Structure 1
């Protein structure tokens, strides 16, 4: 998949054999990725990860998504995380990643896609708006720390 609005970017949908490629992209994530962690994510059904790579094959962004199903609603895609390397921001990379994940969701029969963003994260909110998201007023993110 080539990005129309992000020059020299290729999107790569990772699969079970791409754990090494994912660990090489650790600097885009909150914490270093282990080979075991990469394999676990990439082999789980309904887990998706797309890397944006520059013309030299270096990862410059990613989006991850997880399909969630409920007995009375069907299946939807949870956009788990989105990140773009600082030098590649504001060039359409994030929007292209989000749109590609939405296409995977459509192809998989998902009825919708959702995520959460921190209030004040204007870059993320702008990306989501530009890709057709509706921001729900008055929502609150509730988090349980189970560790």
Structure 2
């Protein structure tokens, strides 16, 4: 397995099967160009096996932290330590950038994700509720 930072939209298109939907060229370019946005790809057996994305946030009274935006591992590569390695890569980057911590939102019934995050050293914070807003024309 090899983990590399994504630097081109071509890399994201080559790993399209890992995403919820195929990456759009303009959104992929925007993500890669935005300061504080990070995406790493895991490769195994010569092809895409997983990815992790993170976004740095900074707040006047809290400092800098890393939001683990999304993690995916292709079904044939699960339970091989790829998720743990990707999480470790993002955590190492965050620590190197001076982040005080990293966090992720996860559905409480997503046992595979919970196991991956815990195996990478994550601990459960108190329960919280996610509230969302949908805006017309946003996609």
Please state if 1:28 is matched with 2:5. no
Correspondence for 2:102 among 105, 108, 113: 113
Report whether the alignment pairs 1:138 with 2:127: yes
Structure 2: gaps of 5 or more residues: none
Q: What residue number does 2:3 align with?
A: 11
How far apart, CA to CA, are the structure 2 residues paired with 1:84 and 1:49? 14
Structure 1 segments, 4+ long, off by >3 Å, are none
* CA–CA distance in structure 2, aligned partners of residues 138 and 10 of structure 1: 34
1:35-114 correspondence to structure 2 within 5 Å: 35-56=25-46, 58-114=47-103
- The alpha-carbon deviation at position 59 of structure 1 amounts to 1.0
Superposed CA RMSD: 1.0
Deviation at 1:119, TM superposition (A): 1.2
Return the TM-score normalized by structure 2. 0.93
Aligned length: 136
Separation in 1, partners of 2:65, 2:108: 23
CA distance, structure 2, for counterparts of residue 118 and residue 80 of structure 1: 13
The TM-score with structure 1 as length reference comes to 0.89
